[in-house]
Amino acid sequence: MFGILDWAVVAAYIIGTTIVGHHLKGRQHSTRDFFLGGRSMPWYAVSASTIATTISAVTFIGVPATVYAADGSFVYLQLALGGVIARILVAQFLVPLYYEKEFYSPYEYMEDRLGPVVGRITAGMFFLGGILGQGVRVYATALVLEIITGWSMVQSIAVIAMFAVLWTWMGGIAAVIWTDFVQFFILVAGGVAALIFVTNGLPEHWDTLLSVGHEAGKFRTFDFSTDPRIAFTFWAALIAMPFQNVAVYGTDHLFVQRLLCCRDKREAQKAVLWSTLGELVPVLMLMVGVGLFAFYEYQPLAADLASLVAEKGDRIFPVFIISEIPAGLKGLLIAGTLSAAISSLDSILAALSQISLTMFYKPFIEPQANEARLLRVSRMLVIFWGAVLAIMAWQFSASELDLITLAFSVTTYTWGPMLGLFLLSIAAPRYRVSNIAGSVLFSVFVVLLINEPQIMNPVFGTAYTAPLLAWPWLFPLGTLCCFGTAIRGRLEEVD
């Protein structure tokens, strides 16, 4: 079902993006060039790169599936509220902190405030969170390749990882940002094309989409339930998700690295604020999900395709692309899916490589290494982390959770304590901070018990099997556990 013309479109996209990234990356004479783009990247490119990284294959594939599901609706859109609040906070308060000195990562800032041990703890948390979070995104795209090519899951993951390593290895963060810039427009064009095509396949086009969607309750956006076990509620979006988004845009090096590539503080602030436009992409993909629901109300899935979707609901959009979209456009949509995945993966590879080099390799293995040597090591680290992420994606392929839940829930273990450590670094000049490692472990342990309460069933004689709280509430809980157990009062009071 995926013909020569489709493969030609995908190949043209891959080759074209590679050429653009190589042409625009500039010269790579030092690790400053490789990891910070020489601090010369324009804010609009950084902003588009941030959006492309945020809007991963999880959004492109998983969001339409959430609406298509029997009880699906627009409630996912509530999460955008937390994203808007967080970007304002990051631009106003966090970006100026990172430009006080030439920091290569947020963990160097924390190390500067709290000491080298804390810097390495946060780097370790980033490794864990990055591998878990991005592994899900690779798996999401492999679902698509698996269907269109007939390759195994392992082969699909390997191909994605290979191209991501190539682009990152080729030119560092500058190449990543410029390829992301191109991928952002490919991604949006693919979503728009899918929406237009699915709408044209309905009897009365937009009128049918809107009427079927309204009758099925697909456009319900707000859920004011106070049940903390429900993830997509207004209160979770307003109270809990700003913690998650500040942790992402303010402490996750995958995103902060881009901000540090800007020419100055004001450019970085513009990049953060303008990236808010990225919240429109989930709206687009939610509409695609409603369109899919309406389309298959009139044209039910064939039995063989229906069985694929019944096995994994997240396959609905890839199945539609393969079975209904004409040649050429089908290739564009798959290119959009690949762009979403690879933009995320090459970003995390650049970030993991940088943190490995600056926080561990250089201080402990070759402290006297020159720039040429460090640049070679950086590229080798990209290959190493590419293999690690591919293995993690393969592990996630056995999960029974939907993509959205899986993508967010695996990061609850790291983003909460990461934000707690960052707040401790801000408080350090005025407050006494101690037992940081213990606070991080306590935070992770609390989140683990809430996510996996069955661990304690033999101890207390209970029979819990489901998480005690929905995943959004674990971000503020993890933050408060880490911060609250490490802070020891004002320095003046201690003295």
0.75 exceeded by pTM: yes
Please check whether residues 393 and 420 belong to one and the same domain: no
pLDDT for 164 equals: 77
Chosen domain end from 373, 399, 425: 399
Q: Looking at the predicted structure, is the pLDDT value of residue 219 above 80?
A: yes
Q: Looking at the predicted structure, is the pLDDT value of residue 112 above 90?
A: no
Please check whether residues 219 and 132 belong to one and the same domain: yes
pLDDT for 258 equals: 83
Residue 455 forms part of a structural domain = yes
Instruction: Please state, for a pLDDT cut of 70, what percent of the chain lies above it.
Output: 91
Which pair of tokens denotes residue 356? Answer: 């490995």
**Average pLDDT over every residue of 158-177:** 73
pLDDT for 247 equals: 93
Query: What pLDDT band is residue 494 in, cutting at 50, 70 and 90?
Result: very low
Please check whether residues 392 and 431 belong to one and the same domain: no
Please check whether residues 458 and 361 belong to one and the same domain: no
Q: Looking at the predicted structure, is the pLDDT value of residue 223 above 90?
A: yes
pLDDT for 77 equals: 94
Which position has the higher pLDDT, 58 or 89?
Answer: 89
Please check whether residues 360 and 416 belong to one and the same domain: no
| Residue 405 burial (C-beta neighbours within 10 Å; 0-12, 13-18, 19+) | middle
Please check whether residues 369 and 433 belong to one and the same domain: no
Q: Which residue has the tokens 């933050």?
A: 479
Chosen domain end from 355, 375, 399: 399
Instruction: Please state, for a pLDDT cut of 90, what percent of the chain lies above it.
Output: 36
**Average pLDDT over every residue of 440-462:** 89
Residue 429 exposure: Cα atoms within 13 Å on the Cβ side: 3
pLDDT for 185 equals: 81
pLDDT for 93 equals: 92
Residue 404 forms part of a structural domain = no
Please check whether residues 221 and 283 belong to one and the same domain: yes
Residue 115 forms part of a structural domain = yes
Q: Which of 152, 183, 104, 18 is nearest to 374 (CA)?
A: 104
Residue 220 forms part of a structural domain = yes
Residues sharing a CB contact under 8 Å with residue 101, sequence separation 6 or more, in sequence order: 112
Under DSSP, is residue 352 helix (H, G, I), strand (E, B) or coil?
helix
Please check whether residues 54 and 167 belong to one and the same domain: yes
Chosen domain end from 399, 429, 459: 399
Q: Which residues of 242-280 are buried (b: 16+ CB within 10 A; e: fewer)?
A: bbbbbbbbbbbbbbbbbbbbbeebebbbbbbbbbbebbe
pLDDT for 230 equals: 94
Please check whether residues 385 and 482 belong to one and the same domain: no
Domain range for 432 is 412-495
**Average pLDDT over every residue of 64-71:** 92
Residue 47 exposure: Cα atoms within 13 Å on the Cβ side: 19
**Average pLDDT over every residue of 421-438:** 91
Q: Looking at the predicted structure, is the pLDDT value of residue 25 above 50?
A: yes
Which pair of tokens denotes residue 3? Answer: 């013909």
pLDDT, tens only, 352-385? 887 888 878 888 888 888 878 887 888 888 889 9
Residue 406 forms part of a structural domain = no
Please check whether residues 89 and 205 belong to one and the same domain: yes
Q: Looking at the predicted structure, is the pLDDT value of residue 398 above 60?
A: yes
Please check whether residues 291 and 360 belong to one and the same domain: yes
pLDDT for 495 equals: 44
Residue 405 forms part of a structural domain = no
CATH number at residue 231: 1.20.1730.10
Least confident of 128-142, 335-349, 479-493: 335-349
Q: Which of 136, 140, 143, 134 is nearest to 168 (CA)?
A: 134
Q: Which of 79, 43, 420 is nearest to 251 (CA)?
A: 420
Query: What pLDDT band is residue 343 in, cutting at 50, 70 and 90?
Result: low
Please check whether residues 488 and 444 belong to one and the same domain: yes
Check if the beta carbon of residue 209 is closer than 8 Å to that of residue 294.
yes
Tally DSSP H helices, then E strands, for the chain: 27, 2
Q: How many domains does the chain have?
A: 2
Q: Looking at the predicted structure, is the pLDDT value of residue 400 above 50?
A: yes
Residue 143 forms part of a structural domain = yes
Q: What span, in angstroms and rounded, lies between the C-alpha atoms of 265 and 267?
A: 6
Which residue type, as a one-letter code, is found at position 415? Answer: W
Residue 214 forms part of a structural domain = yes
Summary mean pLDDT of the chain: 85
